[in-house]
Amino acid sequence: MTVGKRQIRFEDFIMKEGTCWVWKGSYSQKGEPIYISRNKAKNARLHCFEKHVCEIRGVKLEPKCKDPRCIKPEHQKVVKSTDNKTGSLPP
C-alpha cells in the first residue's frame, strides 16, 4: 500500500510569513512543530536547523521571535535540554 505518488517535501510545510517561517505541518501536544518522515516524528525546528545550519544534538530550540510556529533557523535560540529547571527567562 503506497501513501501516494506525490512526495511531500519538508519545504512544502513552510509558509513564509513576514520574516518568519511558519510551520504548516503537525504539532505535538506541547505545541512543538513535528515533521513526519518515514513514519518517524521529528522536531521540525531541529530538522530545519540541521538542514540549513549544522547537525545538533542534545539541545532544544526556542523561537526568539516568540512565534511558536516559527522554525526559521535564524530565529531559533539554542537551549540545552539537559537543564530541567523551569527557571525564569531572561528579558
75 contacts Zn ion (rule: CB under 5 A): yes
Question: Helix or strand or coil: residue 18?
Answer: coil
Q: What is the 8-class DSSP label of residue 75?
A: G
- Total of chain residues touching Zn ion, rule CB under 5 A: 5
22 contacts Zn ion (rule: CB under 5 A): no
Interface region with Zn ion, contact rule CB under 5 A, candidates 4-12, 32-40, 43-51, 59-67: 59-67
Give which of 32, 50, 34, 30 is closest to 42, Cα–Cα.
34
65 contacts Zn ion (rule: CB under 5 A): yes
Task: Indicate the residue among 31 and 58 with the shorter CB distance to Zn ion.
Answer: 31
Beta-carbon contacts of residue 47 (< 8 Å; ≥ 6 apart): 10, 35, 37
- Min separation Cβ 33 and Zn ion, Å: 12
70 contacts Zn ion (rule: CB under 5 A): yes
Site residues for Zn ion per CB under 5 A = 20, 65, 70, 72, 75
